[in-house]
Amino acid sequence: MTAEPSTSTRSYRGQSQEQRRAERRSRLIAAAIDVYGDRGYHNATVKAVCDAAGLTERYFYESFANSEALLIDSFNAVTYAVLGEALRAGEAAGRGRVARSRAMLHAYFSALQGGPKAARVFLVEIRGVSRAVDLAFDEALQAIGREVARMVGTASAVDDELLQAGVIGGVISIALRWIGNGYQPPVDTAVESALRLGTVLATSPRAA
Q: What is the CATH number of the domain that holds 106?
A: 1.10.357.10
Report if residue 60 sits inside a domain: no
- Tell me the residue range of the domain where 155 lies: 67-202
Which pLDDT belongs to residue 15? 72
Within a domain: 59: no
Q: What is the pLDDT of residues 151-208, one digit of tens each?
A: 998 888 888 999 999 999 999 999 999 999 999 999 999 999 999 998 888 776 664 3
Query: What pLDDT is stored for residue 208 in this prediction?
Result: 37
Helix (H) or strand (E) holding 132: helix 131-152
Which tops the pLDDT comparison, 55 or 122?
55
Cα–Cα nearest to 60, from 44, 38, 81? 44
Tell me, yes or no, whether 153 lies in a domain: yes
The reply to whether 31 falls in a domain is: no
Bond preceding residue 185 cis, omega within 30 of 0: yes
Structural domain contains residue 38: no
CA torsion sign, 40 to 45 to 48 to 49?
A: positive
Domain-embedded: residue 37:
no
Residue 9 confidence (pLDDT):
47
What band does 10 get if pLDDT is binned at 50, 70 and 90? low
Asked if residue 170 is part of any domain, the answer here is: yes
pLDDT of 206: 63
Work out the average pLDDT over 99-124.
92
In a domain, 169, yes or no: yes
pLDDT value of position 123:
87
Q: pTM score, two decimals?
A: 0.84
Question: CB-based burial of residue 117 (10 Å sphere; 0-12 exposed, 13-18 middle, 19+ buried)?
Answer: middle
Domain count, the chain: 1
Q: pLDDT value at position 11?
A: 53
Distances from the Cα of 77 to the Cαs of 33, 89, 99, 141, in angstroms? Answer: 9, 19, 27, 14
pLDDT tens figures, 17-67:
888 999 999 999 999 999 999 999 999 999 999 999 999 999 999 999 999
Instruction: Say if residues 193 and 175 touch (Cβ distance below 8 Å).
Output: no
Find the mean pLDDT for residues 70-97: 94
